[in-house]
Amino acid sequence: MKFSAIPGHKRTIEKLIRSVHSKRVSHAQIFSGPEGCGSLALALAYATYISCENRTENDSCGICKSCVKYEKMIHPDLHFVFPVIKIKNKKEDPISDSFIEEWRDFVSKSPFFTFNSWLNALGVEKEQGQIFASEAGEIIKKLSLKAFESEVKIMIIWLPEKMHPSAANKLLKIIEEPPDRTLFLLVSQESDKVISTILSRCQQIKVPGFTGNEIKDYLIKKYGSAPEQATEIARIANGNIIRASDLLENQESSLWNLDNFKSLMRYSWKRDILALITWSEEMAAKGREAQKNFISYALRLIRENLMLSLDQKKNNLVYLGNEEMHFSKNFHPYVNLKNISPLTEELNQAFHHVEANGNAKIIFLDLALKVVKLIR
């Protein structure tokens, strides 16, 4: 992947290019930023540039043997680690190489995607992806070998926060003192969840969200969106290029989340316990990633409604779509400074319980009953 394929982040790209020219490439770096900021795309372009045989001042050439293989992600000195799922009827924990073909096919379509969409590509709904303990041994074995074609071996670890603690602890030494000509590029969406001993061994590259104009130009160029539509979506996306693409391409997921949020709040206001029980059972029937996605959506919508209450005249701090705004015009008075903290706390707690494989029926019914108290 070339830097020119990334719609923005000029300062970050210039910094990465300077590190290569000055030969001051840190052996372990972590690209950290929110979902949809393009951190994986930056890491891929950076790795391509480092290994390019005829790099220019500002980008990789795109046509040399190395670039061609990097574009297809089949270069023998490029290695990937990413969250995977357990394979049925196999006792051994899976490793990334078991899913490398699926990964290459998925990432080649677009480097901008969510964790949930990656799991969907694997055809799972109720599984939770993880970097298992068995991965550590594979990483050490791969990096103990000499480079095949390039001057440097590059290991890209996507979402190190999903790494099993035992795997993370086994990698501490090799990350701190890697084999000769070895580079670790970690890509994180929640760097605060990466174990501190790994975090302290990496140079941090902070990746901000995209600007509104960058997203607007991207939507016009990639999808042929009308400028007015692209401007509106870019404002709602608030720096998240994945959300912008999702809003343009597929509205089903957002509408599903909005409908479930409406139902939760309406049943809670009416204190319709039977309806809330049915609602919690329907939520429990969904996959865990879909459940976490809904809770994250609910957290965002509550935040936006609070901003709508505090900034009714200007709406400068509100990022809502048309359907969301239509609902929020009547709903926002019920979110205020008194209940925003407990509502947020309950939603966050529900998220963590889902992530810990708790009983979904109990989690969502408990959440609904708490909202009954808080929404009034």
Last-in-domain residue among 249, 275, 302: 249
281 in the same domain as 218: no
176 in the same domain as 40: yes
Last-in-domain residue among 151, 176, 206: 206
Tell me which residues of the chain have a pLDDT lower than 50: none
**Residue-level pLDDT at 125:** 57
297 in the same domain as 175: no
**Residue-level pLDDT at 314:** 54
227 in the same domain as 167: no
| Domain assignment of residue 324, given as a range | 251-375
242 in the same domain as 186: no
172 in the same domain as 282: no
181 in the same domain as 82: yes
Q: Quick one: which of 38, 51, 13 has its CA closest to 242? A: 38
Domain count across the chain: 3
**Residue 340 CA, distance from chain mean position:** 25
pLDDT in tens, 27-38: 999 999 999 999
201 in the same domain as 55: yes
Contacts 24+ apart (CB under 8 A), 255-262: 255/323, 257/293, 257/294, 257/297, 257/298, 258/297, 258/301, 258/323, 258/324, 258/327, 260/294, 261/294, 261/297, 261/298, 261/301, 262/327
Q: What is the CATH number of the domain that holds 42?
A: 3.40.50.300
242 in the same domain as 99: no
280 in the same domain as 187: no
311 in the same domain as 299: yes
193 in the same domain as 108: yes
